[in-house]
Amino acid sequence: MKYLGIEPKRPKVGVFDFTGCEGCELQLANKEETVPAFLQAIEVVDFREISSTSSDDYEVALIEGAITRDDEIRRLKEIRKHAKLLVALGSCACFGGVNRLKNGYDLDAVNQEVYGTEPKETLPTQAVKEVVSVDLEIPGCPVDKAEVERIVQHLIWDVPYQFPAYPVCFECKQRYTTCVFELGQLCLGPIARGGCHAPCPAGGSGCWGCRGPAADPNLEEFLQIAKDRGFKKREIKERLSFYGGFEDMP
């Protein structure tokens, strides 16, 4: 619909999946009450998981999943050529996601363990930005559909979108959640990027940092706090490396 005389353009969107659980793609079909409006605001020209139409004529490419094989690298580069705007959708695409955990092992041994004598082709996990240039990253495991909707709106309006600068803690407080540290559990809330509305601490698991670090996180103090509260190095490390989002941090 037109508003203030601005004719909204309807961007042609392609959705492409690489190594991941397809949970982020699934989110595009979630938040059902606005799905029809969402699908009217954009023109889906390629979305293998829900549609048999396929096309190279897209402006926006949403990339889900990490890159773990040669054919994926080739396919991604091809998509990059067509897309005006390439968006990494979800933590796998943004950081490698949980797939990155395999990078800690020798890949031959990994293959041996799972496939025995018939190893399958695989590369160390890479985030999308490690293979092609990325215009926008939407983190989250899975992504938050409400946030995706807002970002798409900003794309349509052609105005910048700013991710929240605050950490998850803030949203936890706004939900009246009792701090999970108070309950004796580890939580990355103080250093993880907010915007997810803190479902995990509220649900009882503590934050695992799926959205990567908040703007200017105080990692040093966080490590001190975790240590003071008796959490072991191994546990903290496991948590920080879980989604690959804290990979670049010292």
Partner 1 sequence: MTSLFRPYYIIQESEMAQPLDYNRRSRLKHVDQVFRSEIINIIPLTDMEKLFQLRILDGAERERFSFLPGQFVMVEVPGYGEIPISISSSPSHKGYIELCIRRAGVVTGILHKTRRGAVVGLRGPFGTHFPIERMRGNHILLIAGGLGLAPLRAPILNVIENRTDFHDVHILYGTRQPDMLLFNYQYEEWNRISDINLKVIVEQGDESWTGPVGLITDLLKKIRLEPLETYAIICGPPVMFKFVCAHLQREGIPMDRMFVSLERRMHCGMGKCCRCNIGSTYTCLSGPVFDYWTVMNLKEAI
Partner 2 sequence: MKVDLNIDLHHLTRVEGHGNIHVQVKDGKIKQARWDVVETPRYFEVMLKGKHYTSAGILTARICGICSIGHCLASLRATEQAFGINITNKAAQLRLLAKHGETLQSHILHLFFLAAPDFLKVPSAIPLLDSHPDIVAAGLRLKALGNRICEVVGGRATHPVSLLVGGVARMPEGLDDLQYDLESAQDDLAAAAELFGTFDIPEFQRETEFVSLKGEEEYPWIGGRLVSSDGVDKAEHEYTVMTNEEVVENNTSKWCKLSRESFAVGALARFNNNHHLLHPQALEVATGLGLKPVCHNPFMNNVAQLVECVHVVHDAMRLVDALQGSDSEPTLVPVTPKAGEGISAVEVPRGILYHHYRYDEKGYITKANCVIPTTQNNANIHHTLRDLVAANAREGMTSEQLELLCSMLVRAYDPCVSCSVH
Partner 3 sequence: MLFKVLGKKEFTTFIELLLNDTEVIAPKQVGVDTSGKPLHQYLPVQAFTEIDLSYETTEYSAKTYFLPFRENLSTCSFLDMVWDRQIKYRVQPRAIIGLHACDINALLKLDKVLAGDRFPSPYYISRRKNTFIVGIDHDPCEGGFCQAVGADVVTHGFDLYLTDLEDRYFVAINSERGFNVLQRVKTREPTARDNNDYLDVRRRIAGQFKPLEVHNLPNLMDIEFESKVWKKWADKCLSCGSCAMVCPTCYCYGIEERVSMDNAESAKVKQLYSCQFLDFAMVAGGHNFRPDRETRLKYRYYHQHRGFVEAYEEPLCVGCYRCGRVCLAGINPTDIIGDLQTEYQE
List Cα–Cα distances, 194 to 3, 81, 144, 174, in angstroms: 30, 32, 11, 12
Structure tokens that stand for 96 in this block: 């490698």
The answer to whether residues 63 and 87 touch, using CB atoms and an 8 Å cutoff, is yes
Residue in 153, 161, 236, 247 binding partner 3, rule: CB under 8 A: 153
Q: Which does 41 bind (CB under 5 to 8 A by kind): ligand SF4, partner 3, partner 1, none?
A: partner 3
**Closer to partner 2 by Cβ: residue 182 or 215:** 182
Instruction: Select from ligand SF4, partner 1, partner 3, none the partner in contact with residue 32, using the beta carbon and a kind-dependent cut-off of 5 to 8 Å.
Output: none
Residue 136's SS3 state is strand
Query: In terms of Cα–Cα distance, which of 138, 108, 135, 142 is closest to 124?
Result: 108
Q: Is 53 in the site for partner 2 (CB under 8 A)?
A: yes
- 9 interacts with partner 1 by CB under 8 A: no
Decide if residue 1 touches partner 1 (CB under 8 A).
Answer: no
Which among ligand SF4, partner 2, partner 3, none contacts residue 248 (Cβ within 5 to 8 A by kind)?
none
In terms of DSSP bridges, do strands 85-89 and 43-47 run parallel, antiparallel, or are they unpaired?
unpaired
Rounded to 5 degrees, what angle do the CA atoms 42, 48, 53 make?
70
* CA–CA dist 179, 206 (Å, integer): 9
- Residue among 76, 141, 169, 210 that touches partner 3 (CB under 8 A): 169
CB of 132 or CB of 207, closer to partner 2: 207
* Nearest CA-CA partner of 63 in 122, 127, 9, 124: 127
CA angle 178, 182, 183 (to 5 degrees): 85
Contact region with partner 3 (CB under 8 A), list: 10-18, 58-66, 67-75, 213-221: 213-221
In the complex with partner 3, the residue whose CB is nearer, 34 or 112, is 34
Does 4 help bind partner 1 (rule: CB under 8 A)? Answer: yes
* 163: number of Cβ within 10 Å: 17
Nearest to partner 1 of 5, 36 (CB atom): 5
Residues 151-180 contacting ligand SF4, CB under 6 A: 168
Binding site residues, partner 1, CB under 8 A: 3-6, 154, 157-160
Interface with ligand SF4 (CB under 6 A)? 20-21, 23-24, 64-65, 90-92, 97-98, 141-142, 168, 192, 196, 198-201, 207-211
